[in-house]
Amino acid sequence: MEVLQHKINKILFRELLICDIVPAMKVVSGNIKFFSYFILLILTGSLLLQLPWCYVEGEPVAYVDALFTSVSAVCVTGLSTVPMDIYTNQGFFVILLLIEFGGLGILTFVSLIFSLPKKKISLLNGKFVKEYFIADVDYNPCKILKSIFEYTIIIQFMGFVLLLPALYLSGSKDWVFDSLFLSISAFCNAGFSPYNTSLQPFENNFYVLTVIMGLIVFGGIGFVVIKNCSQILQGKARKLSLHSKIVLTMAVTLIVGGSLFIFAVEEKKCFADYSFIKKIFLSLFQSVTTRTAGFEVTPQGSFDASVTIFDTLLMFIGGAPGSIAGGVKTTTVFVAVLYAIDGNQQRNTVKIGNYQLPPELVNKAITIVSRSILLLFVVTILLSFSESASLDAGTMRISELVFEATSAFATVGLSHGITGSLSTTGKIILILTMFIGRTGIFAMSLHISRYSTEDNQVGYPKESVLLG
């Protein structure tokens, strides 16, 4: 009997090791590699941006400003504590490399997670992912990475070619390099511009702004969606996956809805002196750029307070999962809102048409949204302490700090012009916020998914509390 019990214990231990501990170790190991990549890239970038040849005057900025720029570039945010005209072409090239490697880094890590065999997928229920989300994506890491690089290079090259004649005709001194820089920055949703006033010099150049918007959208909808759409065009797939439908629906809704709202509010205010076509176009661009891109044509401080609040919400939502865009992601908000409106609170599920989203997915969406809101609340409080002198003097407003915190967390890069005026402590707070916004949500997703399945839940005594 003792021998039998001993064998049973060995079997149970082995199963525990295989089914629980080993996958957990894989998640932890993946997170360590993920964070290490970005930290190493950031530190390397900050040291390179301390070299004199990166600056027109040959005088490097303070290390905290170099670190801020490096974090902003790697996290594809676009916020800057210093004016862009201080950089030489070599300095811009360093920033360009940081943007590219930062953007490709997030795409690579996310896609590799999805490319794992379905039995090892912890992000979502394996069957659900297979049937409804990425059924048309091969579970082949090498093939996935090759497709990502091809997709990235092709789109960026197309953007570069399209921008070349426009920037040449605009009289840009370094029109070739500027075209390359803007193409990569736009596709990566980075928001960095070689011009001191972002894209304000192209306020009347609808062609340039259209190309930029196209690059932003392609960078923000995600590799999975692009692949799904291309396979339909090639006849390799019959219909869009549920994931693609949600992403595209949310993208169109937010862009069109945002444009109409901005136009309705600003038609006779900020855009009062513009033609009807220009009003429509600038409203559209503002709606697109708030989706984590961060390019600025119209100064953010000139918008009505209601538009600022609405833009803050758009920044918080961000782009699609599996894309370069930041924010809590469109599908996350979609699931959370749908659950709030018409979710099954008993089973903790959401029904979409003939499909039912599993409880772990709903829990994940609610958790990510709630934790993100809590984080922004904490960041805003910290900034209000670090910038208390400016708040008391009236040179900053609390609404500007909320906007700045959301822009950093969602890796957008839009600002009311206060970034350079922040204290050293305030800059460090935003550095951490950008890093968390870029890497934290991804790591959070893995963690939540790891501990949200029924197999990994520990039973505790149940108790109840009254809720409002």
What confidence tens digit (pLDDT) does each residue in 238-266 have? 888 888 899 999 999 999 999 999 999 99
The predicted structure's pLDDT at residue 443: 66
Average pLDDT over residues 7-26: 42
Per residue in 383-424, pLDDT (tens digit) is: 999 999 999 999 999 999 999 999 999 999 999 999 999 999
Dmax (CA) of the chain: 90
User: Under the phi-then-psi rule, with left for phi > 0, alpha for psi from -120 to 50, and beta for the rest, what region is 137?
Assistant: beta
Per residue in 339-358, pLDDT (tens digit) is: 888 776 667 778 877 778 88
SS3 299: coil
264: amino acid identity, one letter: A
- How many other C-beta atoms can be found within 10 angstroms of the C-beta atom of residue 290? 30
Kindly indicate the confidence band of residue 30, based on its pLDDT and cuts at 50, 70 and 90.
low
The predicted structure's pLDDT at residue 119: 41
pTM, two decimal places: 0.85
Closest of 30, 9, 10, 122 to residue 456, by C-alpha: 122
Closest of 403, 337, 430, 315 to residue 72, by C-alpha: 430
Kindly indicate the confidence band of residue 112, based on its pLDDT and cuts at 50, 70 and 90.
low
The predicted structure's pLDDT at residue 21: 42
Whether residue 12 is predicted with pLDDT greater than 70 in this model: the reply is no
Distance CA(363)–CA(139), nearest Å, equals: 26
Kindly indicate the confidence band of residue 449, based on its pLDDT and cuts at 50, 70 and 90.
low
Average pLDDT over residues 57-76: 95
The predicted structure's pLDDT at residue 358: 82
Average pLDDT over the chain, rounded to an integer: 83
Distance CA(407)–CA(399), nearest Å, equals: 12
Closest of 134, 138, 152, 113 to residue 29, by C-alpha: 113
Whether residue 62 is predicted with pLDDT greater than 80 in this model: the reply is yes
CA distances from 4 to 7, 18, 80 (A): 5, 21, 67
Per residue in 211-220, pLDDT (tens digit) is: 999 999 999 9
Whether residue 29 is predicted with pLDDT greater than 70 in this model: the reply is no
- Give strand pairing partners of 356: 351
Distance CA(449)–CA(179), nearest Å, equals: 41
Phi, psi angles (nearest 5°) of residue 434: -60, -45
The predicted structure's pLDDT at residue 135: 43
The predicted structure's pLDDT at residue 340: 87
Q: Which residues of 440-467 are buried (b: 16+ CB within 10 A; e: fewer)?
A: bbbbbbbbbbbebeeeeeeeeeeeeeee
Kindly indicate the confidence band of residue 359, based on its pLDDT and cuts at 50, 70 and 90.
confident
CB 376 within 8 A of CB 405: yes
The predicted structure's pLDDT at residue 33: 74
Crossing angle, helix 141-169 and helix 89-115, to 10 degrees? 150
Kindly indicate the confidence band of residue 140, based on its pLDDT and cuts at 50, 70 and 90.
low
- How many other C-beta atoms can be found within 10 angstroms of the C-beta atom of residue 287? 23
457: which DSSP letter?
P
CB 190 within 8 A of CB 77: yes
331: amino acid identity, one letter: T
Whether residue 163 is predicted with pLDDT greater than 50 in this model: the reply is yes
- Return the CA Rg of the chain: 23
Distance CA(138)–CA(224), nearest Å, equals: 11
194: which DSSP letter?
S
Closest of 303, 300, 97 to residue 192, by C-alpha: 97
Per residue in 300-316, pLDDT (tens digit) is: 999 999 999 999 999 99
Average pLDDT over residues 102-117: 65
Token digits of residue 105: 């880094």
The predicted structure's pLDDT at residue 4: 45
CB 25 within 8 A of CB 124: no
Distance CA(51)–CA(210), nearest Å, equals: 36
SS3 103: helix
Distance CA(194)–CA(296), nearest Å, equals: 12
